[in-house]
Amino acid sequence: MPRSLFSHGLLITALLLQHGCGSEQSSAGANAAGNTNEQASFDVVEASFEDMQEAMRDGRASAQSLVRAYLARIERYDATLRATLAINPQAPRIAAKLDLERAAGRLRGPLHGIPIALKDNILTTDMPTTGGALAFADYTAPYEATIVRRLREAGAIIIAKTTLTELANWVATGMPNGYNAILGHSRNPYDPRPDPRPCCNDGRGVLDSGGSSSGTGTAANFWAANVGTETSGSLQIPANNTMLVAIKPTVGRLSRHGIIPITAEQDTAGPMAKYVADATALLAAMEGTDPKDPATGVCPPLPASAAATLLRRDGLAGARIGIPRPFFYEPVAPPGSEAPRGGLTAAEAATMRRAIAVLEQEGAVIVDPAPIPSTVSPDPEANQLLFGNCYDLGQGKGGDANCSTVMKYGMKRDFNQWLSSLGTTAPVASLTGLRRFNRSREAQGAIRYGQAQLDISDEMELTADRSRWRADRQKDRRLSRDEGIDAALERHDLDALLMPAWRGENIINKAGYPAVSVPFGEVPNVLDPPLPADFEAKPMPFGVTFAGTGCSEPRLLTLAYAFEQATQTRRAPALP
């Protein structure tokens, strides 16, 4: 067992012994918690926020009993799944305080007493924030992220930090999803077995856990929900792969202050949960303007009582939903290329046909096809498929003429600014310092898969390359917005585009636009090179994503909730 997991086990055991059975509560706290035998009958597995609130209202649960139940599940299963980078030792104490508030009639809202987890690139002062990097092992920041403060004010209990792909997957292109140098490989709970192929038997799981955020702990019911971050797919992909709902917000709806960055042009935090209503409650609690993040204030806040206002069972009736077939559903060859790109497998295409049928049954108007103009443009300078992100050694200086420098430039600019915000507590002084640290700790596993992305970021010159970055950002916005998502929505008078699984993440993130992902089906887990003939791979979850223009979260949430209620296909993983 990795040393960090062993330490978690000791801490959890101590917390359960200290706070179990109400023995350490004051008499008022014990009365607020209710009868502990009754609380033991409440099962947190697959419980929604409303299920928990109802149980706390009628005495079948308390915030303290929820914390104990989740800690017990972490203790039982996390050695296999490796979903947890830190446990909050203050969680039981915070839960007791919230139970006393409830007993006194003070309720903060739908998050009151709900245990949630944070991706370990979101700063807190009661747990380390490591980003999964050895240079930040055991590092506790001098301040908390704005969204953490807001969650606490809303009554949420921050119970743990989730694992992540190291530094939100901007280290090395060959690094598997869910790997970091501190914890190693995490696993997908829907098939947590190790990958048996000779190419890949390095500890990774046979079923990809998805992007740099982790959905493993939420899917496995280690906590009620979690907050991740996305720059390019890191909410949508893990949510899809672990049967979760994710809301990738418009950039600027949530403050990024206190979050380890990649690039401010695309970074955002966002909720991951089992249900649309829970994700909506998290989003509403976290949103708002923040003078420490100048991008905030771009969107009006969600309506008061967002759940009652937006989440309607009939929300699909009359909605116009477009099917962007070229590239996202069917392969297309960009200009100058004979090789087609994109498209779906036969199983994925069949799943999407079923999803479209559900939309039609629920009263939606399907516009098919509704191509995104920049994916089919015959002009190479206006074709989104020919202008991806610069992301590997071959796209360093001298090899980056046909890719966007926004992410690699932004990483150097914004990471260095974030380090300076830590003052004298910063473990390294700059991106250059981090790269040097990593090279000096190669024997300890600091850069098992290299650090190509850090290298191509650090070679950027913030002054000399600013004009190139600005031109690339303008092109990204033009191809993703004016000639991209907005063009498709306006041309066909659409409420949203329906994307298969996470396949629209690149254009959605370059635009900075919102998306809501919802579980739906499963497809075969087909790998290349193939798995051994006698290895019976379990299926890969495969959901759908509703995407729209900037600040269209209210409309997308209405559509996603109605689809979720019509299908209700999420299932818990079968853990031993």
pLDDT for 276-293, tens place per residue?
999 999 999 999 999 999
pLDDT at residue 40 greater than cutoff 90: no
pLDDT in tens, 316-331: 999 999 999 999 999 9
pLDDT in tens, 290-309: 999 999 999 999 998 898 99
pLDDT at residue 254 greater than cutoff 80: yes
Burial class (CB in 10 A: 0-12, 13-18, 19+), 50: middle
Check if the beta carbon of residue 269 is closer than 8 Å to that of residue 279: no
Q: Is 62 a catalytic residue?
A: no
Whole-structure pTM value: 0.95
For position 525, what pLDDT does the model report?
98
Given 62, 212, 232, 457, the catalytic residue: 212
Give, in order, the Cα–Cα distances in Å from 535 to each of 194, 279, 348: 11, 36, 21
For position 22, what pLDDT does the model report?
41
Q: What are phi and psi of 115, to 5 degrees?
A: -80, 125
Check if the beta carbon of residue 74 is closer than 8 Å to that of residue 161: no
Q: Is 119 a catalytic residue?
A: yes
Check if the beta carbon of residue 124 is closer than 8 Å to that of residue 162: no
In three-state form (DSSP H/G/I as H, E/B as E, the rest C), the secondary structure along 310-374 is HCCCCCCCCCEEECCHHHHCECECCCCCCCCECCCCHHHHHHHHHHHHHHHHCCCEEECCCCCHH
What's the pLDDT band for 28 if we cut at 50, 70, 90? very low
Burial class (CB in 10 A: 0-12, 13-18, 19+), 381: exposed
pLDDT, greater one: 34 or 224: 224
The CA-CA-CA angle for residues 229, 48, 75, to 5°, reads: 75
Given 62, 97, 119, 186, the catalytic residue: 119
pLDDT at residue 167 greater than cutoff 60: yes
Given 4, 65, 186, 234, the catalytic residue: 234
Structure tokens at 310: 């937006």
Bridge pairing between strands 365-367 and 157-162: unpaired
DSSP for 100-139 reads HHHHTT---STTTT-EEEEETTB--SSS---TT-GGGTT-
What amino acid is encoded at 154 in this protein?
A: A
For position 34, what pLDDT does the model report?
44
Kind and range of the H or E element at 158?
A: strand 157-162
Kind and range of the H or E element at 507?
A: helix 505-511
Q: Is 41 a catalytic residue?
A: no
Bridge pairing between strands 365-367 and 515-523: unpaired
Check if the beta carbon of residue 402 is closer than 8 Å to that of residue 386: yes
Q: What are phi and psi of 488, to 5 degrees?
A: -65, -45
Give, in order, the Cα–Cα distances in Å from 333 to each of 80, 132, 340, 385, 482: 42, 38, 4, 9, 22
What amino acid is encoded at 71 in this protein?
A: L
Strand partners, 161: 86, 118
Residues 6+ apart with CB under 8 A from 473: 265, 404, 406
Q: What are phi and psi of 499, to 5 degrees?
A: -105, 140
What's the pLDDT band for 6 if we cut at 50, 70, 90? low
The H-assigned helical ranges of 158-268 are 166-169, 216-219, 236-241
What's the pLDDT band for 576 if we cut at 50, 70, 90? confident
Residues 6+ apart with CB under 8 A from 253: 268, 283, 287, 296, 298, 299, 514, 551, 553
Q: Measure the CA–CA gap between 253 and 150, rounded to whole angstroms.
A: 13
For position 16, what pLDDT does the model report?
76
What is residue 390's DSSP assignment?
A: -
Burial class (CB in 10 A: 0-12, 13-18, 19+), 533: exposed
What's the pLDDT band for 204 if we cut at 50, 70, 90? very high
For position 20, what pLDDT does the model report?
63
pLDDT in tens, 353-405: 999 999 999 999 999 999 999 999 999 999 999 999 999 999 999 999 999 99
Give, in order, the Cα–Cα distances in Å from 120 to each of 87, 89, 110: 11, 16, 24
For position 27, what pLDDT does the model report?
35
pLDDT in tens, 445-473: 999 999 999 999 999 999 999 999 999 99
Bridge pairing between strands 179-180 and 320-322: unpaired
pLDDT in tens, 138-163: 999 999 999 999 999 999 999 999 99
pLDDT at residue 242 greater than cutoff 70: yes
Closest by CA position to 155, among listed 260, 23, 53: 53
Check if the beta carbon of residue 494 is closer than 8 Å to that of residue 488: yes
Structure tokens at 177: 């999803």
